[in-house]
Amino acid sequence: MARYDSIVIGGGLVGSAVAYGLARLGSRVALLDEGDVAFRASRGNFGLVWVQSKGLGVPEYQRWTRQSSVLWDDFAVELKKETGIDCQHEHRGGVHVCINENDFAERRKYMEQLHIESGETSFQYDMLDHAELKKLMPEIGPEVAGASYTPYDGAANPLYLLRSLHAGLIRRGGQYFPQSKVTELKAAPNDFTVTGGGVTFNAPKLVLAAGLGNKDLGALVGLNVPVQPVRGQILVTERVQPVLSMLTIWVRQMAEGGLLIGESREEAGFNDATTPDVQQFLAARAIKMFPFLRDVRIVRHWSALRVMAPDGLPIYEQSKEYSGAFVATCHSGVTLAAAHAMRYAKYVADGVLSAELARFTNKRFDVQAAA
Amino acid sequence: MNEFFDLVIIGAGPAGMAAAITSTGLGLNVAVIDEQSNPGGQIYRAIESVSYERPALMKSLGDDYAAGLKLVQRFRASGANFLPQTSVWQIDGDRDVFTRTAGGTARIATRQILIATGAMERPVPVPGWTLPGVMTCGAAQTMLKSTGAVPAGPVVLAGGGPLLLLLATQLLRAGARITAILETPAQFGAALTHAVGFIRSPAYLRKGLDLLSELRTADVEITRSVRNMRILGDGRASGIEYDSRGRVGRVSADLVLLHHGIVPNANLALSLRCEFSWDDLQRCFRPKLDAWGKTSVDGVRIAGDNGGIIGAKAAELSGHLAALGAAHDIQRISATERDRLAAPLRSELGKHLRARPFLDALYRTPQEVAAPVDAETVVCRCEEIRAGEIRRLVTEQGCPGPNQMKSFVRSGMGPCQGRLCGLTVVELIAECRAVPPSEVGYYRIRSPVQPVTLGEIAALSDG
Amino acid sequence: MFKLPPDSGAATVAVTINGKRFDAPRGCSAAAAVLLAGDVPTRTTAVSGAPRAPYCLMGVCFDCLMEINGVPNQQACLIVVTEGMRIESQYGKFAVKA
């Protein structure tokens, strides 16, 4: 039996960020991962470090997201220094494009509400009409009504981030076990024995970061994790010369030159197929935003399953029955990666989740269940 | 166009053409789609224009090529709707076929699909293989068939497999000078276990010997047991260096033609999530097919080399059989009728398949060609990822398979969508993990399997 | 890199390759025309600027990407030459006409 200080189940963006964070605090970490073909929400991530659309009605979420976006600056530098891998992090603000006047009016109301709810953290934003937007982005389409802008938004390369977190974990003495889907889990307070890939691991701390798999795993440690899949599809284009002047929602250009075009939100169960109707919808919307895209080819059409709680917020919790067992799920694995590595991991190491995460307790679902 | 067909055949090579002939003969409404302007596939490429305009070339290309003309003529007369210069970029969950031509995109509805997109040259990743002046043997054959052109300067053919010798004789007859042929070690020992099948196929045996004797007569130097091939040149190929039987050899050439067998061009079937299995002799993934070419996906069949390499004559027969299967599935003929028509085809097919295991074993791709040793060898041509990086990610970061590899280093993310790197990545990971390639798996392939613009996609929702 | 046999009296189609006129055999692909004209490399890669030329001539390698009649990133081996066709080498990532 292999003994560690912490076992993290799930080698995606959440699991590897938490594992890296624990390792950098000196914990001896075993990171267990599935095989090469699995749902892996992380591979379908758009890669935004997005603040301006988060947390309407939930100021705690807005704060957690903003905090992560601030931590990201140092986080990216640290990962580059640690692993040599550049996550291509940019933090120069972002634009949420409003296709028509109706969207623009709705968006203005939305942003104003976020501003009011932000209180002393003072969420700042600008509404840009078509002419103002065109000054910043000459490539914007003539039909676009305008956009909202905040300086808080940024982006990174989700695949390089994942690779970097894995490399960083190993450099800090952590161990990565692929092809090790959990087949058995025996729990006692601060004492967890996990078998995966034919190997048995034991540690006083356990973190469930297995995405959609958290539901079943959670049940074994007294944690209710009611996550459901919400499908998202993304189109990827061939490489082109730099052409987008600003970071926008739904269409972004990666450092290599290819553009990502997203995204859909579908209830499709555990089906990660791609569909022609969404393909056509995404293409049409992208062309409306940036008419030059008409002649650009797509080389891939992805689909992945978001890990979604009923209210769309993260779930952070420690098991009451089995102290030392934690869960972390969200659908913004890149945005929150810095917070997961630099904050959440510390709470796990200390054995108690901070009050700032109280809003994300899974007890909020008990009320719903009782109702 | 939103027509409804009984059967859409993708690929107008021998399998596709045969299937079209049989299915139209049974009264099915059939469409045949091909990227080229004329039918023939790769093996009978340009056969109509060669036979009408270049009779001398027809002779140079040999009897096997000439035999394709009748098939093409029967296909032209069959009444199948032929859609040339058309690519298939997607097949969706409803089995609609999405096409693209110069005129735009279309969506075709059909009851049954037959994928007969054939094979492609297996990638031969050696140092320098991305230099201008390095091409596949198949490419040189295509130049010859479609234009009559031969290499202008010194040319070396390198690799393994019967096509190497066939191309050499075709080029010689067409007036080329061949500087050298370099053959990797043939696996005689392993092939012996399959020798009985081969000896019972005298046609194949005789063909091989005839080619060799023709080359000997023309004084073409054939070097055997070649290992460690590396192509030289700065900005352009200038020659090739190799080891053979303890000596280092070097040949100057401005054209190097590589070949090491062919493998199914599998991306379309993979995008449909057809089940595949690893063929260790042919060192490639082949779709799981029943006796009528049916895949694990409802309504989708595969015939010809796309189902695993079987050769042109066998491909033709498998095309006829797949068409019979399709016709029965849509209740156009009874099972009894289907089996009656199939019986002579099956027995003929059996004869052609007898020689294959021997050839596959004899010319099995050597380990060093399947999984390049030199760390600087480019594996993913599109993204320029080298063998050393791929090996390192397995040994140092525990990367278990090609999909994780793809997400970490971008191999397979370029326009060719893994066609030229996929097998190599699988073999490298398998070697580093010390497991068989069957355990490693392959890239998850998604549509579009051919390039299509955003405008072309958006236009589909208008029509 | 390739040459036509001396006796070939095939009809030709006039194209320009990187501005230079070339008489291509009727029915051949743009990539084949370039190989006959000997004008390689036909592109430099988007990743490192490495020189490339057609490799497979059957549409699977994507190394024959060229600009044809002003449209970039075309697979030259899948396009049949037409009278007056402009065939041009492509350098790096293509520039979108925004």
CA B328, CA B335: separation in Å to the nearest integer?
A: 6
Find the residue in C nearest to B45 (Cα): C58
Query: Total domain count for chain A?
Result: 2
Do A214 and A315 reside in the same domain of the chain? Answer: yes
DSSP string covering A215-232, please?
A: HHHHHHTT-----EEEEE
C63/B451 touch (CB, cutoff 8 Å), yes or no? no
pLDDT averaged over 10-residue windows placed end to end, chain A, 371 residues = 96 97 98 87 86 91 95 98 96 96 96 90 92 96 96 94 95 95 97 96 98 96 96 94 94 93 94 95 97 94 94 96 97 96 98 96 79 54
Min CA distance, A77 vs chain B (Å)? 19
List subunits contacting chain A, requiring 3 or more Cβ pairs under 8 Å.
B, C
List subunits contacting chain B, requiring 3 or more Cβ pairs under 8 Å.
A, C
**Domains delineated in chain C:** 12-91 (3.10.20.440)
> Of B139, A2, A132, B146, whose CA–CA distance to C28 is shortest?
B146
Do A258 and A198 reside in the same domain of the chain? Answer: no
Instruction: Report yes or no: C98 at the A interface, CB cutoff 8 Å.
Output: yes
Please tell me what DSSP assigns to residue B364: P
| Residues of chain C with C-beta less than 8 angstroms from the C-beta of A289 | none
| Residues of chain A with C-beta less than 8 angstroms from the C-beta of C70 | none
Do A316 and A259 reside in the same domain of the chain? Answer: no
Give domain status of residue A122, yes or no.
Answer: yes
Give domain status of residue A330, yes or no.
Answer: yes
A240/C97 touch (CB, cutoff 8 Å), yes or no? no
Do A19 and A125 reside in the same domain of the chain? Answer: no
Do A244 and A289 reside in the same domain of the chain? Answer: yes
Min CA distance, B231 vs chain C (Å)? 14
| Residues of chain B with C-beta less than 8 angstroms from the C-beta of A176 | 397-398
Min CA distance, C16 vs chain B (Å)? 18
Give domain status of residue A19, yes or no.
Answer: yes
Rg from Cα positions in chain A: 21
DSSP bridge partners of B279:
B284
- Cβ-contact B88, B450 below 8 angstroms: yes
C27/B146 touch (CB, cutoff 8 Å), yes or no? yes
CA A211, CA A227: separation in Å to the nearest integer?
A: 8
The amino acid present at B310, given as its one-letter code, is: I
CA A252, CA A242: separation in Å to the nearest integer?
A: 11
Do A12 and A148 reside in the same domain of the chain? Answer: no
Do A21 and A124 reside in the same domain of the chain? Answer: no
C8/B136 touch (CB, cutoff 8 Å), yes or no? no
Q: List the single residue in A239, A243, A296 with the smallest CB-CB distance to C46.
A: A239
Find the residue in C nearest to B129 (Cα): C55
Do A200 and A259 reside in the same domain of the chain? Answer: no
- The C12-17 sheet, strands edge to edge: C20-25, C12-17, C86-88, C65-68, C71-75
B142/C80 touch (CB, cutoff 8 Å), yes or no? no
Min CA distance, C10 vs chain B (Å)? 8
Q: Of A240, A259, A290, which to mutate for an interface test with C (greatest number of C Cβ within 10 Å)?
A: A240
Tokens of B244: 């053979």
Domain of A334, CATH number, reads 3.50.50.60
Do A232 and A212 reside in the same domain of the chain? Answer: no
> Of B33, B11, B36, B122, whose CA–CA distance to B83 is shortest?
B33
Find the residue in A nearest to C48 (Cα): A256
CA A223, CA B40: separation in Å to the nearest integer?
A: 62
Q: Which of A293, A308, A323 is the last residue of a domain?
A: A308
Q: List the single residue in B36, B138, B151 with the smallest CB-CB distance to C2.
A: B151
ipTM: 0.96
C60/B416 touch (CB, cutoff 8 Å), yes or no? yes
Q: Of C12, C42, C61, C64, which to mutate for an interface test with B (greatest number of B Cβ within 10 Å)?
A: C61
Q: List the single residue in B446, B447, B453 with the smallest CB-CB distance to A297.
A: B453
B43-58 in b/e form (b: 16+ CB < 10 A) is bbbbbbbbbebbeebb
Find the residue in B nearest to A168 (Cα): B397
Of A34-38, A303-307, B17-21, B199-203, minimum mean pLDDT range = B199-203
The amino acid present at B289, given as its one-letter code, is: L
CA B34, CA B114: separation in Å to the nearest integer?
A: 12
Q: At what angle do helices A158-171 and A13-24 cross, to 10 degrees?
A: 30
Instruction: Report yes or no: C44 at the B interface, CB cutoff 8 Å.
Output: no
| Residues of chain B with C-beta less than 8 angstroms from the C-beta of A170 | 396-397
B151/C1 touch (CB, cutoff 8 Å), yes or no? yes
Give domain status of residue A285, yes or no.
Answer: yes
Half-sphere exposure of C44 (CA within 13 A, CB side): 6
| Residues of chain B with C-beta less than 8 angstroms from the C-beta of C56 | 120-121, 135-136, 138-139
| Residues of chain A with C-beta less than 8 angstroms from the C-beta of C92 | 241
| Residues of chain C with C-beta less than 8 angstroms from the C-beta of B235 | 41, 51
Do A210 and A293 reside in the same domain of the chain? Answer: no
pTM for the whole thing? Answer: 0.93
Q: Which of A274, A291, A308 is the last residue of a domain?
A: A308
CA A19, CA A344: separation in Å to the nearest integer?
A: 10
Residue A135 backbone class (left: φ over 0; alpha: ψ -120 to 50; beta: rest): alpha
pLDDT of residue B320: 98
Q: List the single residue in B404, B441, B451 with the smallest CB-CB distance to A299.
A: B451
pLDDT of residue B1: 45
Give domain status of residue A83, yes or no.
Answer: no
- Residue ranges of alpha helices (H) inside chain A are 13-24, 59-83, 101-118, 130-136, 158-171, 214-220, 276-289, 337-339, 345-350, 363-370
- Cβ-contact B303, B322 below 8 angstroms: yes
pLDDT confidence of B2, banded at 50, 70, 90?
low
Instruction: Report yes or no: B434 at the A interface, CB cutoff 8 Å.
Output: no
Instruction: Report yes or no: B55 at the C interface, CB cutoff 8 Å.
Output: no
| Residues of chain C with C-beta less than 8 angstroms from the C-beta of A243 | 96, 98
Find the residue in B nearest to A163 (Cα): B408
A276/B107 touch (CB, cutoff 8 Å), yes or no? yes
Question: Reduced to 3 DSSP states, what percent helix, strand and coil does chain C have, rounded to the nearest 5?
Answer: 10, 35, 55
Give domain status of residue A252, yes or no.
Answer: yes
Give domain status of residue A116, yes or no.
Answer: yes
Do A302 and A201 reside in the same domain of the chain? Answer: no
DSSP bridge partners of A175:
A30
CA A354, CA B355: separation in Å to the nearest integer?
A: 71
Find the residue in A nearest to C74 (Cα): A297
Domain of A252, CATH number, reads 3.30.9.10
Q: List the single residue in A43, A178, A287 with the smallest CB-CB distance to B407.
A: A43
Do A256 and A303 reside in the same domain of the chain? Answer: yes
On the question of a cis peptide bond just before residue A242, with omega within 30 degrees of 0, the verdict is no
Instruction: Report yes or no: B383 at the C interface, CB cutoff 8 Å.
Output: yes
A241/C71 touch (CB, cutoff 8 Å), yes or no? no
Domain with A263, as residue range(s), is 93-153+228-308
For chains A and B, what is the number of CB pairs under 8 angstroms?
Answer: 107
Q: In which residue are the tokens 């859609």 written?
A: B83
Give domain status of residue A341, yes or no.
Answer: yes
DSSP string covering A116-157, please?
A: HHHGGG----EEEEHHHHHHH-TTS-TT--EEEEETT-EE--
Q: Of A295, A297, A299, which to mutate for an interface test with C (greatest number of C Cβ within 10 Å)?
A: A295
Mean predicted lDDT score pLDDT of chain B: 94
